[in-house]
Structure formats: C-alpha cells, structure tokens
Structure 1
Amino acid sequence: MCSDKYEDEKSYTDDCGVDYSNKNRLLWGSLSITTYNVEDGTKVVSANAFATRGSFNSSLHSLLISDSVVAIGTNSFSYSRYLRSIILSKNLIYIGALAYCDCFCLLYL
C-alpha cells in the first residue's frame, strides 16, 4: 500500500512538482518546495515520498497532510532536516518505520 510507484500505475505531477498516482497516492515530493498541502482525496503518502534520497538539500519546512490520508510509508520524510512542522491527518491508521528519521519537526494532529 505504501510502496513506491508500481510499474502499471499512471501518475501526474501537480503545479508544485509533486507526483501523484491516479490511485490516490502521493508518490514523490519535490525537494525544492518550502510549504506543501497534500491534495484532498489522497489516501497514502508513499515510502520515501519526501525523503532527501541521499541529498540534504530539501527546502521543505512545513507540511499539511490532508484528512483523507490514512497511511504514511516508511522513510517518507527521512533526513528532511529543514522540516519543522507537520500537521497530520486525523484519520491516520498507519505510519511506517522511520517515517520522520532525523527530522527536527513538531507533529500536530
């Protein structure tokens, strides 16, 4: 459910450079945005979605996760060192291991 993009999965990129699947999953987040609101209707933030992927150059400072999100994948925000606040979905039922590894952020419900 929270894995990276599946081979047969169609996707699109929003105006901020964030990739979504047509199956209601946020796949990859742009590391150049500073503030982001996850689209309403999104069910899953995929594994490694906003992780820095070997680069410590993420500019993301704050994130609002839509209340439609029920799952956040493993390492989703790992090493996003500038990330300071995340407002979580009220409907979360799963948060993967190390989702916030090495982040210095406050989590809000």
Structure 2
Amino acid sequence: MRRIRKRYIALHIDSVQHLDEKRLMKAIWGKVYQLFGEVGASQTALSKIDYNKEQAILVIRCSHKRLESTIAATAAITEVDDEESVALRVVAVSGTLKALRNKLSKRQC
C-alpha cells in the first residue's frame, strides 16, 4: 500500500476577533463536507498542525490529491458558527512542514 503524500497549507485568518482553533477546524470540516460530501471529505485527510493566535496563522495538512479542493473549501468560508465574519487566505503551500516554516519565516522578514 502506498503512503498518502501530504501538503501543508498556511492560512492567514482575517477576523475582528481571535478565533478558537477548534471552531475554525469545525468550520473548515463543515465546508469541505458541504462542498464535496462524505467521501470527498474523507479523501482530503485534513488535520490541524499548528495555530498561532498572535499572528493569526493556521497550518493544516491535507492529501496532495485534494489540495485544490481543500483550498477551495477554505476560500468559501465566510463565517464561523453563524456569528463571526471571517476570511481565510492562503499564505504558503509546501510538501514538508520544514519548508513551509522556512517560507513563513522569510515572509515575516
């Protein structure tokens, strides 16, 4: 059996308030499920890797075959828990977490 190749996505959260990471992931999973159904959601192999509240950066991991689907779902999110206006913007995408962190550190300089 072949292992699943992964992609790491860094997302900037544009929101008035600091959002809880569990609520953000619930919103992302909900949008993926809404757009692509149960099978499509399971194929994304989506998981949270890191969340920096101060910089409002969320790092998630997904399957490389479902990268575009995952990005489309995050772009379609406009609110969290039907109350807060929010926008998720892709900052960087990489095949390894180390390379993603290097891209983020270069962006900060």
| TM-score, length-scaled by structure 2 | 0.24
Considering fraction of residues, name the structure with more helix: 2
Q: TM-score under structure 1 normalisation?
A: 0.24
Where relative contact order (Cα < 8 A, 6+ residues apart) is larger, the structure is 2
| Larger-gyration structure (1/2) | 2
